[in-house]
Amino acid sequence: MHPLLLASRALPSRQRLRLAVNRAGSWSPLMLAVAVGLLAGVGAVALRWMIGEVHWLFFFQGGRLGTALHVPVWAVTVLVPAVGMVIVAYLALWWSPEAKGHGVPEVQYAVRVQGGKIRTRVAFAKAIASAISIGSGGSLGREGAIVQIGSSLGSVIGQVTGLSADEVRLMVAAGSAGAISATFNAPVAGVLFALEVILGSFAARSFGLVVVSSVCATAVSQTVLGTDPAFPLVERFQLVSNWELGLYLLLGVVTGFVALLYVHSVYGAEDRFDAWNVPVWVKAATGGLAVGVLGTFGSDMLFGIGHEGVVQAMGGGLATGVMAALVFMKIFATSVTLAAGGSGGVFAPALFIGAMTGGVFGRAANVVLPNLTASPGAYALVGAAAVFGAAAHAPMTAIIILFEMTDNYRIILPLMLCVVLAQIIASRRDPDSIYSIKLRRLGGMSRPEEMGTLDVLLVVDAMADTVPSVRPDLSLEEFADRVREDHSRSWVVLDDHEELAGMVAVSDLERAIVEGGFNESTVADVMTRSVVTCLPGETLRQAFRRFTERDVYQLPVLEDAGSNRVAGVLRRTEMMWAYKELADEHQRLLDRTEAIPRNVRGSSVHLDVQVTRDQAGMCFRPIRDIRVPDQALIALLRRGDRVVVPRGFTRVEPGDVLTFITTREHEAKVRAWIAASRNGEA
């Protein structure tokens, strides 16, 4: 036997696997994408089976037990969700915290911050937790769970085979694509979901591997579950008249605001439960009981995924008042389930809420314009896609997934129109989606390699308050004298109301001298009236683009978007100086971080302190003058919605939140120093 073959057999199994992947060369990512897709398909089928078994155990067997104990059926159905929620809460607490919540933001965080690395146990913990949550009546969907399961399988395969961080991220995206494809029998939508939501990129290499995984996962699910669409329709919906597009525009407005209500309700409930200082089991039981009461005395369609409710809304089988009530009850039930510690997705509830909203709208449209409108089911279908697209800020995925889930192409025009308008309205009112809010809270809204210093600094950080200005009626002779005195290159032209009228530069003066008419001309004759401006709250990256577009030396900074009053000027030199200062300060911060011993760096602790006027040792002081203990450093400063790396001369103001980094060994000492600063002793 060849010596190299003998040597390879002597290697551990993981190293042999990595060696085989490396030998496969360019074929290895493709083979791994196939493996990830097959596993994601199996995972989707397994999760469906698990949810069904848990539902049978909790409701059917639980009902039989209740009958044997002479407990009324309604009491059993009220209690079942609470029991399931308590089990899930402790499962997440003791085994895997990642199993809690709707799953997608955790995958996004792993892709953006952790190089795609997800712990092996997450797939199993999420499957069990979600099966119990949904099977016991929690008002959630299975897509968030299967996305996290598929992504974790992709991550594990990528890590075991020794792939690079970028390649592991691709495997994570491939797993999520396969998961969505297999769950909804929607292979194209699975691809778009992975690219639009998980990766945020449509790169050619990503597209190929994600498609392979999606196809393989769909093949597995169709082999086991069949090829029927997820939502079978009783009729083929289509436009009755082109005038009906106006109604779909109005539905887009309505669903955009319903999506905002849904998103804010989910996180509002989460914040209230987080602030509730009671044991975990009390929160879980309270949320479960609330869902149990709603499902028992309201509608059993609120239990679990709720696909049967979507089908009934599209088939026109629900009364208008019932659909209207279900919109708000489903929002409440989903919000409470997640806030109390449930595990499952927000995709299916969004489809349910949207279908009910569209159904109500369709009934109203039929009453007002009976001869020009389609059946209410058409509006229910479009509304389902619109609420999800607006809530997730993923219009492409929403459009394609409803098309694939219903196998109805004739409704595609109003579907596209309504979804896009709903998403525009939702994103204008709130730039965060139902996923990005959680991602922001996890600290993963920007990857370090994607966010540079120019994204951290604002125009207000670098602009000059003194504005070199001239009047439009100033003669060019006088302006020439001003040029010799100021040694500047351009000036802001302000009218009699102290508002921006234009810009004039040395080059304008030189051109007037060459062309003649110098003695009779004024600044108004040679100035540029179409001026590029910026605002104090914009980032230096946005301002930098304007410098490069027009090749100007300085930009006037307006007080606000609706004003022509100039607050300052931003010059190229000041912008580059601010960039260098922050970069140097950031490097000093990194150097201090490197000074922390490696054996304790992994046990670092972040402490947030909101500064008040009474903290004389911090408030109204530059960062460099704060006597921070040697065992800690100030890593970040939050001022309102801004998060910046603090510079030495950054002045701390009341309301600012400072983030201190220390180690667990010195945590008590730093906390004592913070407490002393609150009492004015530090």
Is position 269 within any domain?
Answer: yes
CA distance 109 to 217: 24
- Indicate the residue type of 443: G
What is the pLDDT averaged over residues 414-423?
90
Strand partners, 499: 565
Assess whether 159 and 209 both reside in one domain: yes
| Angle 282-286-290 from CA coordinates, rounded to 5° | 170
SS (H, E, C) 572-641: HHHHHHHHHHHHHHHHHHHHHHHCCCHHHHCCEEEEEEECCCCCCCCCCCEHHHCCCCCCCEEEEEEECC
Whole domain around residue 542: which residue ranges? 455-575
Domain boundary among 383, 414, 442: 442
Q: Sign of torsion, CA 225 226 229 234?
A: negative
Choice between 651 and 424, residue whose per-residue pLDDT is larger: 424
Task: Give the pLDDT confidence score for residue 326 in this predicted structure.
Answer: 92
Assess contact for 679 and 647: CB atoms under 8 A: no
Is position 301 within any domain?
Answer: yes
Choice between 197 and 291, residue whose per-residue pLDDT is larger: 291
For 300-343, the pLDDT digits (tens) are 888 888 888 888 888 888 889 999 999 999 999 999 998 888 88
Task: Give the pLDDT confidence score for residue 669 in this predicted structure.
Answer: 83
For 109-125, the pLDDT digits (tens) are 778 767 778 877 777 88
Q: Is the pLDDT of residue 662 over 80?
A: no
Is position 6 within any domain?
Answer: no
CA-closest candidate to residue 88, choices 256, 272, 315, 339:
339
CA distance 294 to 332: 9
The DSSP H or E segment spanning 353 is: helix 347-368
- Tell me whether strands 469-470 and 490-494 are parallel, antiparallel or unpaired: parallel
Q: Which of 375-379, 503-507, 592-596, 601-605 has the lowest mean pLDDT?
A: 592-596
Assess whether 639 and 508 both reside in one domain: no
Average confidence score pLDDT of the chain: 79
The CATH number covering residue 37 comes to 1.10.3080.10
Assess whether 336 and 469 both reside in one domain: no
Assess whether 20 and 109 both reside in one domain: yes
Domain boundary among 410, 442, 474: 442
The CATH number covering residue 489 comes to 3.10.580.10
Task: Give the pLDDT confidence score for residue 89 in this predicted structure.
Answer: 84
What is the pLDDT averaged over residues 668-676?
82
Is position 584 within any domain?
Answer: no
Is position 7 within any domain?
Answer: no
User: In which band, very low, low, confident or very high, does the pLDDT at 552 lie, cut at 50, 70 and 90?
Assistant: confident
- Indicate the residue type of 13: S
User: In which band, very low, low, confident or very high, does the pLDDT at 604 lie, cut at 50, 70 and 90?
Assistant: low
Is position 634 within any domain?
Answer: yes
For 425-449, the pLDDT digits (tens) are 988 888 888 888 887 777 655 444 4
For 224-271, the pLDDT digits (tens) are 888 777 777 666 677 777 788 888 899 999 999 999 999 999 988 888
Task: Give the pLDDT confidence score for residue 345 in this predicted structure.
Answer: 84
Task: Give the pLDDT confidence score for residue 514 in this predicted structure.
Answer: 78
> Over pLDDT 90: what percentage of the chain?
9
Task: Give the pLDDT confidence score for residue 602 in this predicted structure.
Answer: 43
Task: Give the pLDDT confidence score for residue 584 in this predicted structure.
Answer: 59
Assess whether 401 and 320 both reside in one domain: yes
What is the pLDDT averaged over residues 154-166?
79
Q: How many CA atoms lie within 13 A of 589 on its CB side?
A: 21
Assess whether 427 and 522 both reside in one domain: no
Assess whether 646 and 552 both reside in one domain: no
Q: Is the pLDDT of residue 66 over 50?
A: yes
> How many domains does one find in the chain?
4
Q: Is the pLDDT of residue 351 over 60?
A: yes
Assess whether 505 and 611 both reside in one domain: no
With 0-12 / 13-18 / 19 or more C-beta atoms within 10 angstroms meaning exposed / middle / buried, residue 227 is exposed
Assess whether 423 and 461 both reside in one domain: no
Domain boundary among 575, 591, 614: 575
CA distance 353 to 122: 29
Backbone angles phi, psi at 522, to 5 degrees: -120, 175
What is the pLDDT averaged over residues 449-472?
70
Choice between 487 and 317, residue whose per-residue pLDDT is larger: 317
CA-closest candidate to residue 176, choices 246, 248, 126, 237:
126
CA-closest candidate to residue 346, choices 100, 142, 107:
142
What is the pLDDT averaged over residues 628-641?
72
Assess whether 562 and 618 both reside in one domain: no
Listed ranges 74-88, 218-232, 241-255, 349-363; the one with the highest mean pLDDT: 349-363
Assess whether 418 and 465 both reside in one domain: no
586: its two tokens: 């950031």
| Residues near 577 by beta carbon (within 8 Å), at least 6 away in sequence | 462
Choice between 259 and 561, residue whose per-residue pLDDT is larger: 259
The CATH number covering residue 654 comes to 3.30.70.1450
Is position 149 within any domain?
Answer: yes
- Indicate the residue type of 51: I
Q: Is the pLDDT of residue 283 over 70?
A: yes
What is the pLDDT averaged over residues 62-90?
84
340: its two tokens: 């109390």
Is position 321 within any domain?
Answer: yes
Assess whether 82 and 219 both reside in one domain: yes
The pTM of the full predicted model, rounded to 2 decimals, is 0.65
For 495-517, the pLDDT digits (tens) are 888 888 888 888 888 888 877 76
